[in-house]
Amino acid sequence: MHKPRLQLQASFDIAYLQYLDQQGRATQPLPDFATPDWLTYCLRQMQLARLVDDRAVKLQRTGRLGTYPSTLGQEAIGVATGNALMAEDIYCPYYRETGALLERGVEIEEILAIWGGDERGQNFEHARKDLPICVPIATQMLHAAGVAFALRHRHQQRGEPLQVAVASSGEGATSKGDFYEAMNLAGVWKLPMVFVVNNNQWAISVPRTAQTATQTIAQKAIAAGMPALQVDGNDIVAVAWAVRDAMMRARCGDGPALIEALSYRLCDHTTADDASRYRSAEELEQAWQWEPIRRLETYLRNQNLWSDANQQDMERELAQTMEAALNNWESRAPEPSTAIFDHLYAQLPEGLYEQYDQLRDEQAGVERQ
């Protein structure tokens, strides 16, 4: 068979970034923002996220919360991403985002309310413009593209400072059409948008190798004409640098970027899952060796910036914070049953008036008993 002579039209590379290796050793000088105070703050926030997750799982197991998705082993991605955003930026999260939500000022009791079926938890007291948690896979990417378009329009029409929309997802979402459509739109219109993909190796029971034939998740951005970077997602310094750099580019009008953060899901997919059915105990045990909290703590201890006394003080403080949040959550007055309509419709359709009134009257009758 005839083989024609081909000419190279284009070539692409995917770079990888790491500052702290699996043993907590610096692989290169840390960036200026990674001061001792910032590093110890991040250690606290990751431990807080892990504590919130642990308590939420226990609440679900005792029937007090609905299905809950833990971020165990992936705390560096959320904390670093949330920390990189400015107050005026817009965050469009998926469901595995405890650390990022805490960084955005979302209260612990609001997070518990969300997974307890109380939609008031999504009405964030502080992060007023951020989008609610998105459970459907990858749809938040399209939402974020629309937000980014609006932000650029305001900048162009009103002269407002350019804000950035940041969308997070797992690597499973990158197999959905929503993801590709959002990337294509962001790339061709040079929208101020950053895609942060948590590649935790598993989309429920499906391993990454069965989801996509690409060598990396990051290279999917090449088709959309945007830069991409793969980072060690268990290295909070690397994730923070990557997100900050991508946001700075977007804020300067240079368009979107994609960050693939390599991590590992040390927990079940959600509390409705049993990961032992599809992955080995040996694989899980090995992954525990490079989880993000241990790595950062090891680095800090080696730099004489952390001690057993520091750790004990932090654990006491976090326990008090968690207990106060639980008390606030438990003391919330329950919503009326009519809230299922109130949270769904801005204006109730006429066809539902009768159902609404019936539900309201039934609740009033229960309350009088």
pLDDT band with cut points at 50, 70 and 90 for residue 153: very high
Among the listed residues 286, 259, 199, 194, the one whose alpha carbon sits nearest the alpha carbon of residue 16:
259
Per-residue pLDDT at 249 = 97
CA distances from 50 to 98, 199, 233, 246 (A): 8, 19, 16, 27
Confidence check: pLDDT of 77 > 80? yes
> Is 90 exceeded by the pLDDT of residue 84?
yes
| pLDDT surpasses 90 at 367 | no
Q: What is the percent of the chain where pLDDT is above 90?
A: 93
Question: pLDDT confidence of 369, banded at 50, 70, 90?
Answer: low
Q: Please state, in angstroms and rounded to a whole number, the distance separating the CA atoms of residues 32 and 46.
A: 21
Statement: residue 298 has pLDDT above 90: yes
Give pLDDT tens digits for 120-137.
Answer: 999 999 999 999 999 999
List active site positions.
Answer: 265, 269, 278
pLDDT of residue 363: 85
pLDDT at 158: 86
- Which residues are CB-contacts of 82 (< 8 A; sequence separation ≥ 6)? 91, 99, 100, 101, 102, 103, 104
Q: Both tokens of residue 294?
A: 């241990």
Q: What is the mean pLDDT of the chain?
A: 96
- How confident is the model at residue 139, as a pLDDT? 97
Residue type, 207: P
Query: In a 3-state reduction of DSSP, which class is residue 310?
Result: helix
Q: What is the CATH number of domain 15-335?
A: 3.40.50.970
The pLDDT of residue 364 = 83
Q: Give residue 365's pLDDT band: very low, low, confident or very high (50, 70, 90).
A: confident
Q: Is 269 exposed, middle or buried (0-12, 13-18, 19+ CB in 10 A)?
A: buried
Start-end of CATH 3.40.50.970 domains in the chain = 15-335
Q: What is the pLDDT of residues 324-360, one digit of tens each?
A: 999 999 999 988 889 989 888 989 999 999 999 999 9
pLDDT of 235-286, one tens digit each? 999 999 999 999 999 999 999 999 999 999 999 999 999 999 999 999 999 9
Query: In the prediction, which pLDDT does 1 show?
Result: 87
What are the beta bridge partners of residue 92?
Answer: 167
- Per cent of the chain over pLDDT 70 is 99
> How many Å apart are CA 42 and CA 133, to the nearest integer?
22
CB 241, CB 16: distance < 8 Å? no
User: What is the model's pTM?
Assistant: 0.94
